[in-house]
Structure 1
């Protein structure tokens, strides 16, 4: 009987110890890495309109054919050229009480050598396209940059936790939980030094219109550390 009581007592103590929550300090860490982009995504579109659907499509196809031929001349790889959408719409003009047609085709181009940017843009315009819908920048080192940002975010979280604990004359232990709150890659912002550098290059035969700036990769993590 005494043995049974002793076992129950030990079991009760063990259960209470397991159910006692451990103190933690919960912090948010932010890691930021900046880099000058080395790639660009250029989105171009051609729109043709007219009364005859077949002729409108033929004209649109002709311009897009010029675009694709030019991109081959520029040594842009096929895998870096993508047709985003093709549309042929029938529209009613309430003023003239007639129908007309509009053919649209959009192509995105990934440019891996930004030194070719000016030649590429000027050449695209000469093909007959009538829309450049946007240019966005990126880095070929995206995965490595994201890894750096994560490490910085964890280090930032640990620094914050240590600061809080030290004020209370306590210390932090191992991480209890880690969760990635968000991951962002911001659009590049212009940097004057890049623009000035381009303007100073008088040997260039084409005017410089590109300012790639810097892009920012930001990681945010929530970390819970044991507190002692």
Structure 2
């Protein structure tokens, strides 16, 4: 079995490092929709347009600018209930979907209450985020590099050799299913129970560094 552990092309030390950065959210993104079923296409469009107009009035009352709202065009489909011989025609369904962004996290609860009151009957997702995600990702990547370097140094010292220059840098998606073999092998900054602390957005990064061995 030891033959399976041989290194075919020995060249140095490879180490994986991961890190996460937490930040309080300063943005919330809401995905919602309006669906109305009426006997005729004209009635369905009219009902949908009325609900969309009511929704826009609510958003303006919450001082959410039009630029923070992404809306789909009204779509019309036939609505059915049941399957095969038992299928029953219900009418025509008018659907409109919206994505809303707001920095007013304190007013989120009232906003959701008001949009439902305006006719929204589908709240698909409420996602908290941070505006400075690029900066946080860069911070996590720097910490991941430090973690990988510290691990490689530890291995080199334990093996009685000197760590050389970096000869390989590989970015790793810490959430990728293909990299499950790396999970749990990062530094203290890698995924841990604190990553799931409520009220925080966690931005993660991971890297594999390859080092030569100094002669």
Tell me whether the two structures share a fold, i.e. TM-score over 0.5. yes
Kindly name which structure, 1 or 2, has the bigger radius of gyration based on alpha carbons.
1
**Is 1:73 matched up with 2:64?**
no
Find the counterpart in structure 2 of residue 144 from structure 1.
135
CA distance in 2, matches of 1:97, 1:154: 60
Aligned ranges for residues 15-26 of structure 1 at < 5 Å? 23-26=11-14
Residues 189, 121 of structure 1: CA spacing in aligned structure 2 closer, same or farther, 3 A cutoff?
A: farther
Task: Give runs of ≥4 in structure 1 deviating > 6 Å.
Answer: none
CA distance in 2, matches of 1:122, 1:97: 33
Give secondary structure in 1 for the equivalent of 2:110: helix
TM-score, with length taken from structure 1: 0.74
Find the counterpart in structure 2 of residue 222 from structure 1.
208
Find the counterpart in structure 1 of residue 185 from structure 2.
none
> Offset of 1:189 from its aligned partner?
4.4
Identify unmatched segments of 5+ residues in structure 2. Answer: 1-8, 176-190
CA distance in 2, matches of 1:157, 1:180: 12
CA distance in 2, matches of 1:158, 1:97: 65
Contact 1:31 1:220 (8 Å CA) reproduced: yes
Kindly report the root-mean-square deviation, in angstroms, between the aligned alpha carbons of the 2 structures.
2.2
Residues 160, 41 of structure 1: CA spacing in aligned structure 2 closer, same or farther, 3 A cutoff?
A: same
Identify unmatched segments of 5+ residues in structure 1. Answer: 1-20, 192-212
> Offset of 1:171 from its aligned partner?
1.6
TM-score, with length taken from structure 2: 0.78
Contact 1:173 1:226 (8 Å CA) reproduced: yes
Contact 2:18 2:174 (8 Å CA) reproduced: no
How many residues were matched structurally? 185
**Is 1:169 matched up with 2:157?**
no
Q: Which has the higher contact order (CA 8 A, sep 6+)?
A: 2
> Offset of 1:119 from its aligned partner?
2.2
Residues 189, 181 of structure 1: CA spacing in aligned structure 2 closer, same or farther, 3 A cutoff?
A: closer
Deviating more after overlay: 40-49 vs 93-102: 93-102
**Is 1:120 matched up with 2:106?**
no
